[in-house]
Amino acid sequence: MGAFSWLGPAIHLAWAAPMIGAVIALFLSRKSERAGGIVSAASLFVPALISTLLVHEVFTRGAIITEPSYSWIRLGGMELKAGLFIDGLSAIMALVVSWLSFLIGVYSLEYLHKDRGIHRYWFFFNYFVGSMMLLVLAENVLLMLIGWEGTTLASYALIGHWYTDEDERCVGDIGRKALGKPMWFTPSHSGVRAIVFTGLADLGFIMGIGLLMFIGLKYNMPEILSIHALYHNFGEVLTLLNSEGLLLPFIFMFTLGAFGKSAQFPFHEWLVTAMTGPTSVSALIHAATMVKAGVYFLLRFAPIILVSAVQVGLGGQVSTFFLYT
């Protein structure tokens, strides 16, 4: 960790503080809405502060900070460690996610004043931010997946926050149909759409990780799921996948997760109706964080993704066509 060792394990508060705040706010908001909101917003300031310090360290000292990993899972000859990896990319992404989330949280204090589901809102809002920070800072792909799926679950709950489906909460013109299909959507329906479309894409990501584990176990590569090691040894990994006839399936499945998170074709439908959630949720998911997770994914695994440049480019072009038509 070099010159930043004084912070040590406290770096883990970048993702843990919002999670702790989520649990506290869930119970405290039932007794005092204001107190629960303040605790939630305060817990969001912690990752904002830590990420600011990390950016300063990385860009003034040129440091790549690897928080000491803790033994997590042993599978055959493969040992998975739970740790954090911070370089320029993850530090900048963490800075953007944390500060925008904190500001949106402060805005929510007044915007959702007297909302009857405020305890649920603060829980899933903070849970989302904690998951997003874990996704960005994770040292291995499996830990990244936990944060990835955490954002999927939280987005379902936040988009469907007003699940009682009052007419004023719907998106579209109520009663309007096209080709016999309704052209309006309720919050509860939109939440389900979000988790179904992103969940389907996530299955590809999970299967891609499974192929990496297969290669790691077969060829005795215990650190194959380490993001740092994978980034520097991607050529060897791709060669081994190709020798097993798994390169194309791996590239296809591994990139599907990014397509779902960034609402690219054919997983774009969830974003169309996600506006049924509170405005603060739209700001958090659409503009600030979750759809950027796919971009972060592509940048983080750029050497591997370049092999599938045609697939990624085609998906982007088709999505752009749908956007403008």
User: What is the pTM (predicted TM-score) of this model?
Assistant: 0.88
User: What tens digit of pLDDT does each residue of 193-251 get?
Assistant: 888 888 888 898 999 999 988 888 888 777 888 888 887 788 888 888 888 888 888 88
Give the per-residue pLDDT at 310. 60
Segment 52-55 long-range contacts (CB within 8 Å, at least 24 positions apart):
52/95, 52/99, 53/4, 53/7, 54/4, 54/11, 54/14, 54/86, 54/91, 54/94, 54/95, 55/91, 55/92, 55/94, 55/95
Query: Average pLDDT over the chain, rounded to whole?
Result: 83
Q: How far apart are CA 302 and CA 36, in angstroms?
A: 41
Question: Region 114-129: what's the mean pLDDT?
Answer: 93
Question: Region 251-265: what's the mean pLDDT?
Answer: 80
Specify which residues 178 forms β-bridges with: 181
Q: Is the pLDDT of residue 6 over 60?
A: no
**Cβ neighbours of residue 270 closer than 8 Å, sequence gap 6 or more:** 190, 193, 194, 196, 197, 198, 263
Q: Is the pLDDT of residue 294 over 50?
A: yes
Sign, CA torsion 4/145/271/263: positive
Give the per-residue pLDDT at 3. 44
Is 129:44 a contact under the CB 8 Å cutoff? yes
Q: How far apart are CA 275 and CA 184, in angstroms?
A: 12
Which residue type occupies 234? F
Is 103:95 a contact under the CB 8 Å cutoff? no
Please give the C-alpha separations between residue 313 and each of 206, 253, 317, in angstroms, as whole numbers. Answer: 22, 15, 6
- Cα–Cα–Cα angle for 183, 184, 188, rounded to 5 degrees: 135
What tokens appear for 265 in the block?
Answer: 């074709």
What tokens appear for 207 in the block?
Answer: 């299967």
Give the per-residue pLDDT at 288. 60
What tokens appear for 300 in the block?
Answer: 């983080």
Strands 70-75 and 65-66: unpaired
> Domain residue spans in the chain?
1-139, 159-325
Q: Is the pLDDT of residue 324 over 60?
A: no
Pick the residue with more confidence: 61 or 38? 38
